[in-house]
Amino acid sequence: MPINNRSPRICRAVLLSVGLLFSSSDMAQAHTMERAISIANNAVLQAAPETFTVSYVHPARFGSVQLRTATGETVPMRYQPPANATTTFTIPLPKLVPDTYRLTWRVIADDGHVMTGNVTFTIARR
Ligand SMILES: [Cu+2]
């Protein structure tokens, strides 16, 4: 799986008062960070992916997922998310024809923060 190289979505809380400065690793432990995604952003795929997997450093609860075409049409998805918090979500994708798609998802971290992610990918015409 390619490692997601976008900047980690850590809280932007900056605690500078009374000389108390939390390092970014302390902040990361407050919720979680995306660790990997199975489809790289802007990937051009030769075959339609059957699933999309996103994993996090710490367990999170699933929030939502949405798939849209380049023209903004919503592609129906069926995903039964795990009831409990988990680090890895494997989301089945419907049969996709060659097109460009944008997948958007949300999870809720242990500290209650909503973490959003998105990836755009293209399925090449053969
Ligand atoms: Cu947080």
Average of per-residue pLDDT values in the chain: 84
Q: How far apart are CA 80 and CA 38, in angstroms?
A: 19
- Write down the domain spans for the chain: 17-123
**Domain over 17-123 is classified CATH 2.60.40.1220:** yes
- Ligand 1 centre and the CA of 26: distance in Å? 10
List CB-based neighbours of ion ligand 1 within 5 Å. Answer: 11, 30-31, 111, 113
- Ligand 1 centre and the CA of 41: distance in Å? 24
Judge whether residue 10 has pLDDT over 80. Answer: no
Judge whether residue 73 has pLDDT over 80. Answer: yes
Which of 13, 20, 117, 24 lies closest to 62 in space, CA to CA? 117
- Ligand 1 centre and the CA of 99: distance in Å? 35
Residue 65 CB partners (closer than 8 Å, separation 6+): 77, 79, 91, 103, 104, 105, 106
Sorting pLDDT into bands at 50, 70 and 90, what band is 32?
confident
- Ligand 1 centre and the CA of 2: distance in Å? 24
pLDDT by residue (tens digit) across 74-126? 999 999 999 999 999 999 999 999 999 999 999 999 999 999 999 999 999 98
- Ligand 1 centre and the CA of 11: distance in Å? 5
- Ligand 1 centre and the CA of 124: distance in Å? 37
- Ligand 1 centre and the CA of 93: distance in Å? 29
Q: Is the pTM of this model over 0.85?
A: no
